[in-house]
Amino acid sequence: MEHPHPLIYRTLTVAAVRGAPEADHIEILCLPSARIFRLNRAQPDFPQLLDRLQTAAASGRPVRLGLAHERSDTIEDVLA
């Protein structure tokens, strides 16, 4: 997906993927940051990004999370 601004990528290990089906986002818990990031269901490439995050959580391999800015908690891209 094309982004209107350059993303900042952080390499993190996905510890857990959680979220209620009725919620508008999924929560992604990452290590070593101990932060909770959000993946919005309204995102056009939500299924692909969620799959990458779930695969990373299962394998324990780090991924690169694309964020709009350093303090953002919203995931805009995932590079496996």
Domains belonging to the chain, first-starting first, are: 8-79 (2.40.50.340)
pTM summary value: 0.89
Tell me the mean pLDDT per 10 residues along the chain, length 80. 78 94 94 90 95 96 94 94
pLDDT at 3: 61
Tokens encoding 37: 């990031």
pLDDT at 54: 96
DSSP for 12-78, written as a single string: EEEEEEE--TTSSEEEEEEETTTEEEEEETTSTTHHHHHHHHHHHHHHT-EEEEEESSTT--BEEEE
